[in-house]
Amino acid sequence: MLDLLLISTLGFLGSFGHCAGMCGPLTVAFSLSNSRNEKLATFRFHLLLNLGRIAAYAVVGAAIGGLGSVLIAGGQMAGTGSELRRAIALLTGTMLIWFGVVQIKPGLLPRLPLLHPIDLLRKSDIIVK
């Protein structure tokens, strides 16, 4: 029950901050740009703005939920202790440490050629001058 309360509180505070910081000022700016003070036009504007916002959030939420369910299903098929999962965890952990060290001291480690394909092209003189 405590988890549900914490998640709900975090969701409320995050959404409140988002609305107060982004949606509110955008709505005010758009409504102030409307020089006509017709009540029907203003109502239509706010209705369409909020319907568009709700539809966009619903589509993005459905896409992220679908991606999450695919990843969970893939993890269950691979098994919790599978060798592939361990190898990927080691690879991503090593890359995170590598990127962190490169951010702290840029010349200490060489650049990864996979992430910098332009360097490979320059070394092989494929780039036409």
In our burial notation (b when 16+ CB lie closer than 10 A, e otherwise), range 112-126 reads: eeeeeeeeeeeeeee
The tens digit of pLDDT for each residue in 73-116 reads 776 666 666 777 788 888 889 988 888 888 788 778 776 666 66
Report yes or no: 46 and 40 within 8 Å, Cβ to Cβ: no
pLDDT at 107: 77
pLDDT at 122: 63
